[in-house]
Amino acid sequence: MSANKSYSLQSHDLASSIQQVQSQVSHCMKKATLFFGKHFDHPTSNFKQKGKAAGTAHLHKNELRFNYFMYQQDESLFIETVVPHEVAHIIVYQIYGNKVRPHGKEWQAVMKKIYHLEPNRTHNFDIPLPKQSYTYQCQCQQHVFTIRRHNNAQKGTQYICKLCRSSLSFLAQHS
């Protein structure tokens, strides 16, 4: 069945991607162990991160979540910057606990002294489009609506195209 084939191909890609992320996590953990002369508990890693964040560190679960959408945009940039950023949160938490600020001077020192990176809080990856979008049609073109606008339109709000001045009507939903 072709559907099965494409699914297994995709999951293979995902598996090798998560392997690449995990080996970089290990590499970053090793560097921290060498630097501090201390053992750290290795976090688990996955691609559960969605939305605007490139990654998040779930300190109590010792879990790192990474954004696959952004990873795919530039794998090496992601591996070189996002992974150390999140690992640095794990290191700082395992040394200082909750006593320090997430991107405070302790985290910045780990980024600079161990990973030789600029301690940037933000990333430049593209942010995904809203998961659900709605296409509307006027007399001259198609417009993409978010769910919020779509709901307003369905409740009676009239949207007018700035170009052709005709009112928009619902065409299709994408998810």
Residues belonging to the active site = 86
Specify the stretch interacting with Zn ion by CB under 5 A; choose among 34-42, 60-68, 92-100, 161-169: 161-169
Structure tokens at 5: 């084939």
Q: With contact defined as beta carbons under 8 Å apart, do 113 and 35 qualify?
A: yes
Closest to Zn ion by CB, 16 or 120: 120
Burial-class residue 147 by CB neighbours within 10 Å (0-12, 13-18, 19+).
middle
* 77 in contact with Zn ion (CB under 5 A): no
CA-to-CA dists, residue 125 to 24, 29, 163, 167, angstroms: 19, 24, 31, 35
Q: If binding means CB under 5 A, how many residues of this protein chain bind Zn ion? A: 5
Which position among 129, 160, 163, 172 is part of the footprint of Zn ion (CB under 5 A)? Answer: 163
Closest to Zn ion by CB, 91 or 138: 138
Closest to Zn ion by CB, 9 or 163: 163
- Would you give the binding string for Zn ion spanning residues 123-152, x where CB under 5 A is met? ---------------x-x------------
Angle at CA of residue 170, ends 168 and 175, nearest 5°: 130
Distance CA(39)–CA(163), nearest Å, equals: 63
Closest to Zn ion by CB, 163 or 171: 163
Q: Which residues, in sequence order, are CB contacts of 102 under 8 Å at separation 6+?
A: 89
* 83 in contact with Zn ion (CB under 5 A): no
Residues that bind Zn ion (CB under 5 A): 138, 140, 161, 163-164
